[in-house]
Structure 1
Amino acid sequence: MNTFTQSALSSPVSSVKLKAGDFKRVKDLLYEYCGIFLQEGKEALVQSRLMKRMRKLGIGSFSEYLDFIERPESGGEFLAFVDVLTTNKTHFFREAQHFEFIRKHIIPTMGGRNAKWWSAGCSTGEEPVTTAITLHEARRTTPWSSVKILATDISREVLKVAKNGVYPSSRMMDVPDSIRRKYFESIGNDEFKVKEQVEEMITYGRLNLTEDWPLKGNFQVIMCRNVMIYFNRQTQQQVVQKFYDQLQPGGFLFLGHSESVSSNNKGFKNLAPAVYQKI
């Protein structure tokens, strides 16, 4: 029997409220681990998501749960804690102007060179898949040699989806029919799987953007869109500087449309909304 069951029975999880002190602990743990800054007003969201984990474990209070995830014997529950509190909203061809910029301004300059691209914060895979499709579509008129796309995220759960490459029809709403037929295979149950010609371009891996990166750099393109809005200003500047170090001279950095490189950072020039080039 789970050692927490008796506590759970005396204090049903459904009736437990997240106290101010517990919310502060959650904020501090998440920020220290991965730089995500939870703002005030997120208490209800945190309570709802963590209660799912508490029910599964039979833990009857938030303070007990937070004590548990910090102990070695938690069995990786801390990473599950991070997973449930990480927002992973995305869709195919999101912020389509960026893929149009890639098609018009980056691919024509590639020639026969091999290139490394990086989707940082790839979530369930829609961004790297869209990038690979954009490259394939352009190849009909603009030849390029080889592009390898590294796709990373901090969440193990979304990476499982991305690696599997299977999406329900509800997630295909923004994919034109011609693209769907060419690059996805219907596998029944109203689901579609990414075809091999796209999958073979992408390598998925887990990475915490606020820790040291075991990467060799020399990326031509880095896409980190709608991720840094969850960081405070200091962490944003640190991550942008690390992106700068990983880009080749003249390389491109794509951010979300609500994100920007600080005006104090003279290492980038702004080419288009949320598109920067390393000087």
Structure 2
Amino acid sequence: MKSVMPGAEAEYTDNDFQRVRGIAFEEAGISLPVSKKTLVYSRLSRRLRELGYHSFHAYLDFVKTPAGQAEMEKLICALTTNVTSFFREKKHFEHLEAEVLPHLACTARSGGRVRLWSAACSTGQEPWSMAMSVMSVIPDAPSYDIRLLATDINSEVVEQAASGTYPASETDGISAENRKKYMEPCGDGKLRFAGPICKLPAFRVLNLNADWPIKGTFSAIFCRNVVIYFDDETREKLWRRLADRLEPGGFLYVGHSERVATTIQCRLEQVAPTIYRKDS
């Protein structure tokens, strides 16, 4: 069978789709159901077009070579979406500010270490929202040992997130007060984060299904709308790894359509529909 896409500009066979499924799972733990066959074509055909390939077979051969390592990352990133916004799922930030940060303020001011993690930061709206929450409760947070790790598998979105720069039209989720307090105009209708808040987040590239060169534990981890790409085994393995990185009494925040099925094994207690607390 030559092409599974009527009118396709690049040759795309069932075998090609199976190869993409294998690569996605092997490289990032992404589980692609058969229903995603058309989506895979639409996402990856742009990469083929840009590189001048006329068949998925040749393209996939390339990404498996040493010379294709950078393109392998682009392939994985093309298969995932980066839809996000500031203070998305606002109840998480309300919980963070009311139930978590006041206690962490005491820890920090007594000389303790405080660490938060945005485990799939995309273009940065989530970690910058977390940073604003921290600043709202602990205005002098940059003076203490408080840091916010922000990671994503996609190096391009991590670079964008680290710049802290966004079109003004995309900052509606931020209150006018916070925009004035934490951001500055930088031309072309854009705003960027500036001042002491920039000392809080550290941005890194990280594959959640590979090794984590991370030391220590976290008081709160946001890992939202990520496991929807994984099969059950990969999903539960990630929950266990994240729970292991939580300090006793720490909180895990997940996406609105996600849940941790193995709470007992992870030593987690569900305290709200998408919020879990690790046993003390």
Answer whether TM exceeds 0.5 for this pair: yes
Aligned to 2:174, the other structure's residue is in SS state: coil
1:16 Cα deviation after fit? 2.1
Residues 278/144 of structure 1: CA separation in 2 closer, same or farther (3 Å cut): farther
Is the 8 Å Cα contact of residues 236 and 262 (structure 2) preserved in structure 1?
no
Match of 1:64 among 44, 54, 58: 58
Q: Identity across aligned pairs (percent)?
A: 38
Aligned to 2:34, the other structure's residue is in SS state: coil
1:17 Cα deviation after fit? 4.7
The equivalent residue for 1:278 is 278
1:39 Cα deviation after fit? 2.2
Aligned to 1:265, the other structure's residue is in SS state: helix
Partners of 1:180 and 1:59 in 2: how far apart? 45
Partners of 1:76 and 1:252 in 2: how far apart? 35
Aligned to 2:46, the other structure's residue is in SS state: helix
Aligned to 1:217, the other structure's residue is in SS state: coil
Partners of 2:32 and 2:259 in 1: how far apart? 20
The equivalent residue for 1:205 is 204
1:216 Cα deviation after fit? 1.4
Partners of 2:197 and 2:33 in 1: how far apart? 38
The equivalent residue for 1:98 is 92
The equivalent residue for 2:250 is 251
Matched, 1:79 2:49: no
Q: What count of residue pairs does the alignment treat as equivalent?
A: 267
Partners of 1:148 and 1:120 in 2: how far apart? 14
Superposed, which structure 2 residues align to 1:31-46 within 5 Å? 31-46=25-40
1:262 Cα deviation after fit? 1.0
Amino acid at match of 2:232: R
Aligned to 2:35, the other structure's residue is in SS state: coil
Amino acid at match of 1:261: V
Amino acid at match of 1:35: G
The one-character-per-residue Cα deviations of 1:132-159 (angstroms, maximum 9, x if unpaired) are 0011112259999442001000011111
Is the 8 Å Cα contact of residues 165 and 193 (structure 2) preserved in structure 1?
yes
Matched, 1:54 2:53: no
Structure-1-length-normalised TM-score: 0.90
Moved more, 99-108 or 66-75: 66-75
Moved more, 14-23 or 110-119: 14-23
Amino acid at match of 1:103: E
- Residue ranges of structure 1 left out of the alignment (5+ in a row): 1-12
Match of 1:29 among 23, 29, 44: 23
The one-character-per-residue Cα deviations of 1:73-131 (angstroms, maximum 9, x if unpaired) are 22521112112222111110000000000111011212023301111011011111000
Residues 144/269 of structure 1: CA separation in 2 closer, same or farther (3 Å cut): farther
The equivalent residue for 1:265 is 264
Q: Alpha carbon RMSD of aligned pairs, Å?
A: 2.0
Is the 8 Å Cα contact of residues 217 and 245 (structure 1) preserved in structure 2?
no
Residues 84/263 of structure 1: CA separation in 2 closer, same or farther (3 Å cut): closer
The equivalent residue for 2:114 is 115
The one-character-per-residue Cα deviations of 1:134-187 (angstroms, maximum 9, x if unpaired) are 111122599994420010000111111111111112311212211111111111
Aligned to 2:114, the other structure's residue is in SS state: strand
Partners of 2:130 and 2:114 in 1: how far apart? 13
Amino acid at match of 1:151: A
Amino acid at match of 1:84: A
Is the 8 Å Cα contact of residues 119 and 152 (structure 1) preserved in structure 2?
yes
Is the 8 Å Cα contact of residues 263 and 269 (structure 2) preserved in structure 1?
no
Is the 8 Å Cα contact of residues 30 and 36 (structure 1) preserved in structure 2?
yes
